[in-house]
Structure 1
Amino acid sequence: MLLNLKKEQREHLQLLHQRSPDDIVELCKSAFEYLSYGPNIPRYQQLATKYVSNPEEVQHAIEALIALLIDATKANASEIDLKQLQQEEGYNDNIIEVLTQFVHSKHHFIEGSIKSANIRAYRLVNIEWRLEVRIATRSLLRQNSIRVTMKLFLHTEPKNENRDLLEVGEQQAIHPDERRNRKDLLVQTDLSSLVYIIQVLENALYESKSRRIRNIVSAIH
C-alpha cells in the first residue's frame, strides 16, 4: 500500500529530516492542535526560530502531517506501510517511530471525524419567503410587528434534477424514494433574529474558504 501523499506534501515533510524525536513529537502535537483549534501562527514563529526556518515552512509541514494522518487513517495503514514511507523518503527509524505512534494514537479520532463528514446531511436547494407586517391592533394602535416566513426546500442529493422535484404540481405524486431524500421546513423569525442568522452563515462561509478547512476537506475526500 502506498500512502497517497501529494508531491507538494512530501516536499513539505522534508522539514522532519535532521530533527530530533522531541522535535517530531512537538510538530505532531501542533498538527493535532491545528485540527482542533486552527493554525497557531505565534507558535509556528517560535518553532521556526528553533529550527532555523520560517513560519510558513513550519505551517506547511504541519499541514502535511495532517494530510499524512488522515490518509493513513483512511487506508488503515500499518507500521509496515509507514516503513515503506521511510524507504521512499529516507526518514530515520526515530522519525518513523514517532509518526507511527502519532497515526495510531489519533486513529479513532480521525476515523470518527471522517464518518461524521460523510453523513448525508440535508442541503438547501430552494427557498420561498414572505414578509408580514402588523401595524396595529384593537388593543395597541401603534404596533409595529415584522415577521419573515420562509419555506426551505432541503434534499440529501444536490443534483441538478432535484430542481424538478420542487416544480412538481400538487396533483403529481412524488416517488417514495424521492420523498425520503426530501424535506421541507417552514420557519418564521423576526428581523433581529434573521440578521443574526445571516451573520452566522456569513461567518461559516468565510471560515469554509480558509486554508485550514480546504486542507482538511481535500484530505478527507
Structure 2
Amino acid sequence: MLFSLKKNQREHLHLLHQRSAQDVVELCKSSFEYLNYGPNVQRYQQLANKYSTDVSTVQHAVEALIALLIDATKANATEIDLQRLTQEEGYSEDIVEVLTQFVHSKRNFVEGSIKSANIRAYRLINIEWRLEVRLATRSLLNQNSLRVTMKLYLHTEPKNENRDLLETGEQQPIHADEKRNRKDIIVQTDLNSLVHMIQVLENALDESKSRRVRNIVSAIH
C-alpha cells in the first residue's frame, strides 16, 4: 500500500535535508522518546543550539517523524515503499537508510500501541450520587463525617441511551445481550479523596488537549 507525506510533514522534515545521517539518528531517537514520555523541550533546545535553528523547528521535525512512523505502519509499507518515498523527497542515501531502519525497528511498538488504543474500554454513561453526613455518635458528640456515595454506569460502547437519559432523566431497561458490555460500580469516598479524583480527571482532560495527544490520536484514527 503506497503512502505519501502531507504538505506540512514535508515542510517540517525539511530540516533533514540540512543534517547528517547521525543528526537524523538523534531526531529519530527523540521521536521515539516523544511517543513514550512526551515532548522533551530541554532536549529540543540542545538540538536547536547544535543545528543553529529554533526549538519549534526541531519539535516539528520530531512530530513529523512520528507521523511518518505511524503512517508507514498503518500502510504496512515495505522497505521498497519507504526508499521510494524518501528518495523522491531528495534525501541522501545515508538518510534514506536511517529512516527505513527507524520505521522497521519501531513497527512492532506502533502496531501494539494501535491495538491497545482499539481495546473497548468502559465509558461512563451515567452517574447517580448522594451525600451522607454523620453529625455525632454516642462515643463522639462533635463528630462531623461526610461521605459521598456514587453509582457509576459504565459501558464498552457508545450508546444512544445517553441521549435518552438526558431527555427523560430515567435509566432505560438493558437488554440481556447488552449486559456483557455493561458494568455498574458503587463507590464511596470522603471529600478529600473526591477532590483528588476530580483534580486527576481535570489533569487528564487537559493532557488530552495537548498537541502530543492530538497528533497521536489523529495518526491512529
Q: Same fold (TM over 0.5)?
A: yes
Q: Deviations over 1:187-208 (max 9, x none)?
A: 1001111111111111111111
1:160 Cα deviation from its structure 2 partner = 3.3
Q: Which residue number corresponds to residue 167 of structure 1?
A: 170
Structure 2 unaligned residues grouped into runs of 5+ = none
Q: Deviations over 1:62-101 (max 9, x none)?
A: 0000111111122222101102212431222111110111
Percent of matched pairs sharing the same residue:
78
Could you tell me how far apart the structure 2 residues matched to 1:4 and 1:151 are?
Answer: 49
Matched position secondary structure for 2:137: coil
1:211 Cα deviation from its structure 2 partner = 0.9
Q: Which residue number corresponds to residue 22 of structure 2?
A: 22
Matched position secondary structure for 1:109: helix
Q: Deviations over 1:171-194 (max 9, x none)?
A: x5x322322222211110011111
Please tell me the residue identity of whatever aligns with 1:81. Answer: D
Quick one: structure 1 residues 142 and 4, their matched pair in 2 at CA, closer, same or farther if it must change by over 3 Å?
A: farther
Could you tell me how far apart the structure 2 residues matched to 1:217 and 1:85 are?
Answer: 24
Deviates more, 1:192-201 or 1:43-52: 43-52
Quick one: structure 1 residues 168 and 135, their matched pair in 2 at CA, closer, same or farther if it must change by over 3 Å?
A: closer
1:29 Cα deviation from its structure 2 partner = 0.5
Query: Where does 1:18-167 land on structure 2 (aligned, <5 Å)?
Result: 18-164=18-164, 167=170
Tell me how large the CA RMSD over aligned residues is. Answer: 1.8
Could you tell me how far apart the structure 2 residues matched to 1:92 and 1:201 are?
Answer: 47
Structure 1 unaligned residues grouped into runs of 5+ = none
1:6 paired to 2:9: no
Please tell me the residue identity of whatever aligns with 1:49. Answer: N
Could you tell me how far apart the structure 2 residues matched to 1:87 and 1:49 are?
Answer: 28
Please tell me the residue identity of whatever aligns with 1:206. Answer: D
Deviates more, 1:10-19 or 1:83-92: 83-92
1:162 Cα deviation from its structure 2 partner = 4.2
Could you tell me how far apart the structure 2 residues matched to 1:168 and 1:217 are?
Answer: 32
1:159 Cα deviation from its structure 2 partner = 3.7
Could you tell me how far apart the structure 2 residues matched to 1:33 and 1:90 are?
Answer: 26
Contact 2:132/2:146 (8 A) holds in 1: yes
Please tell me the residue identity of whatever aligns with 1:55. Answer: V
Contact 1:131/1:146 (8 A) holds in 2: yes
Q: What TM-score results when the alignment is normalised by the length of structure 2?
A: 0.91
Matched position secondary structure for 2:18: coil
